[in-house]
Structures are given as structure tokens and as C-alpha cells.
Amino acid sequence: MNIIAKDKLKKYFSIWPKTLLVVALILMCTTITILNLRKTITVVIDGKENQITTLAKNLNKILEDYAIVVGEKDKISMTLDSEVKDGDVIYISKAVEIEVSVDGKNLTVSSAEPTVKDLLAVENITLNGEDKIVPSVEKPLENGMKIQITRVKREVVNEVQQIAFETEVRKSDEMVEGTQNVVQEGAAGEKAITTEVVYEDGKEVNRKVVEEKVQKDPIKKIVDIGTLGVLRPSRGGGEVLYTEMKVFSSTAYTADRGDASDRTATGTRCRRDPNGYSTVAVDPRVIPLGTKLYIEGYGYAIAEDTGGAIKGNILDLYFNTYSEMMNWGRRKINVYILK
């Protein structure tokens, strides 16, 4: 080997250690750099942890690399353009489908909010004081959940109602039966009524009167109804008014033969007057003395005599002659008590 070749070999082997050193240094620096760039983060999706080791620092890029899609309504604890650091924990809540029935509409809403209350706030759905909601606002959201909101409205209604008047019917023995006279006209009263009405989704579900106040009392109507009967005697004399008709047993008596006194218990003289009032004997407990009567088949009479055998519904009719008395005998008669 010549001297030149020896010099070249000597020079080559003298450079080699240096080259190895440089390469080792580069590798070491690269390794340190990679180690410094590598980071481990935790992505928690709906409570499920996923550990990710990455060299990327942009959160959006990291999620794309691991096929983690963040939807428009999903919630994430860091913005997608954030730079992550080793040990970071990112929370992602995936939106679920919720059906909300409110104000006559059925809404399908995607939401990643934790509770019903939070969902309503985000969707600008307000609850009024007495509105009903199922489930409760504290209920955690679940996929497929149905939320029913019932609008409750209370309304106070003030109105004036009439109070019907009563009618008082009075029997009058001063008027003919079948006739009537309005003594006082009736008039309806008025009362103010305050009612509370409850509506659910516009439909009335309850009505309650909370106050009633009479503003004007009704005036009672008063009507007199006649009770007097009208008798039209077959032998003329026009119409005769009577207060009552009774059926009596009748007998007859006379002073024609001197068997009886011709004086009555009231001191009058016994008489039979077919064209006027005749004497009859009565039980004063049944027909008071002095009462005027009309007796069918006999005529007008006055109760002005009594007799020991005249008890209860029995009349003893006076006749002028013995033969008339015998002809009458004993019979049932209709007796009209005259007005």
C-alpha cells in the first residue's frame, strides 16, 4: 500500500467517530423533540373515558384523527381550535333527540343540556307560573324523552245574573172561584257573581264561584185566587156566592100541630118562606147560628134554631104544615154555606 492510500484510510477512520457522534446527537435531539411533542389527553364522551396519545396540538385535528365527530348541538368543554396540553381532559356531551309538546306544536329538539330545565332555557321555552310540565324540570335528559308542557291560565269573570222572583198565591173568599187578582207585580233581583275559570291549553277545565253579592233584592209577586163558588139556583134568583158545600143528613119539624115551639133558639119566630129565608135547626159546633145557607130542594135558609137530636152533620128543616114535614121525611142534602 502506498503512502497516499494509507493517508486516506487514516483520515477516513479518524472522521468516522465524529460522524457517529453527530448522528447520535441528531437522533437524541429528535427523540427529545418527539417526546416533548407527544402528549396524552383524555376525552370523556357521555361519561366514557378515551385516552389519546398524539403529537398534534390542535384539538380539532386530534378529534379528526380519531374520528370523533362533534355535532352542532354537542357540548364540549374546550373550543375546537384550542391547543391541548399533556394531561388535558376534554368532556363531550352528545346531543340526544327530545320531543317537546308545547303551545299546540310537537317539536323535535337535539340537545346536550344536562336537564329539562337547561333545555328549556337554551330553546327559549318559558314556563309561566302555573304551567304544568312532565317530566319535572330537574329530570336529566334522555334520548327519546317526551316533554309535555300544559299552559295553565286563570281568568276572573265578573257577571250580573238575575234573581228570579217568587210568586205568592193567596186564597181569597172575597172573589169568585176561578178568578184572580195581581195584588203586587213581581220584579227580578240582581246579583254580582265573581267566577274563577281555569284553562289548560285553552280549554276550560274548572270553574269556581268565589263571590256572590246581591245588588238588588227580588220583589215577590202576590196573586189572590178566588175561592168562592157560584151557585145558580134552579128557581132563579141569579148567582149566589158560597164559601163551601157540604153533604148533610136532614130531618124536618113543624109547629103546625103544637108539638114544637114556634120560637127558635135565637128568639125569632120559626118560618118557612119559599121566596126568602126559612128557619133551620143546626149543630152550632158545625154551622154557627146566623149562617145563611142554600139547601138543594129546600131553598134559602138561616141557621137560627137548635135541637137536642141535632148533632154533627144533621139539619132540621122547618115547614109550615105537618103534611109538608111528612113529605120531606129524612134525606141527604147538599148544603151551600153562603158568603
Strand order in the sheet with 48-54: 48-54, 39-45, 89-93, 75-76
**Does a structural domain hold residue 165?**
yes
Cα separation of the two ends of the chain: 182
Backbone angles phi, psi at 29, to 5 degrees: -65, -40
- Measure the CA–CA gap between 70 and 72, rounded to whole angstroms: 7
Q: Which residues of the chain have pLDDT under 50?
A: 29, 33-35
Q: Are 317 and 301 in contact (CB under 8 A)?
A: yes
**Does a structural domain hold residue 68?**
yes
- Measure the CA–CA gap between 236 and 27, rounded to whole angstroms: 156
Instruction: At 238, list the grid cell.
Output: 141569579
Tell me what pLDDT residue 8 has: 61
**Does a structural domain hold residue 264?**
yes
Shared domain check, 177 and 200: yes
Shared domain check, 100 and 59: no
Shared domain check, 277 and 179: no
- Measure the CA–CA gap between 51 and 156, rounded to whole angstroms: 62
Shared domain check, 239 and 164: no
Shared domain check, 177 and 275: no
Cα four-point dihedral sign 51, 52, 57, 61: negative
Question: Apex CA 287: angle with CA 281 and CA 289, to 5°?
Answer: 65
Q: Which of 223, 251, 280 is the last residue of a domain?
A: 223
156, 262, 290, 321, 337 from 304: Cα distances, Å: 75, 12, 6, 19, 14
Q: Quote the domain boundaries for residue 138.
A: 96-150
Q: Are 125 and 174 in contact (CB under 8 A)?
A: no
**Does a structural domain hold residue 201?**
yes
Q: Which of 223, 257, 273 is the last residue of a domain?
A: 223
pTM for the full predicted model: 0.53
**Does a structural domain hold residue 210?**
yes
For residue 150, how far is the Cα from the chain centroid? 20
The per-residue pLDDT for range 285-298, each reduced to its tens digit, is 999 999 999 999 99
> What CATH number should be reported for the domain holding residue 82?
3.10.20.30
Shared domain check, 334 and 317: yes
Cis peptide before 135 (omega within 30 of 0): yes
**Does a structural domain hold residue 282?**
yes
Regarding beta strands 292-295 and 299-305, do their DSSP bridges make them parallel or antiparallel, or are they unpaired? antiparallel
Tell me what pLDDT residue 33 has: 47
Q: Are 277 and 253 in contact (CB under 8 A)?
A: no
The per-residue pLDDT for range 214-240, each reduced to its tens digit, is 999 999 999 999 888 888 876 656 788
Shared domain check, 330 and 239: yes
Shared domain check, 112 and 180: no
Number of domains in the chain: 4
**Does a structural domain hold residue 245?**
yes
**Does a structural domain hold residue 84?**
yes
DSSP secondary structure, 177-216, as one string:
TT-EEEEE--B-EEEEEEEEEEEETTEEEEEEEEEEEEEE
Shared domain check, 208 and 289: no
Shared domain check, 306 and 214: no
Shared domain check, 60 and 129: no
Shared domain check, 271 and 185: no
> What CATH number should be reported for the domain holding residue 111?
3.10.20.90
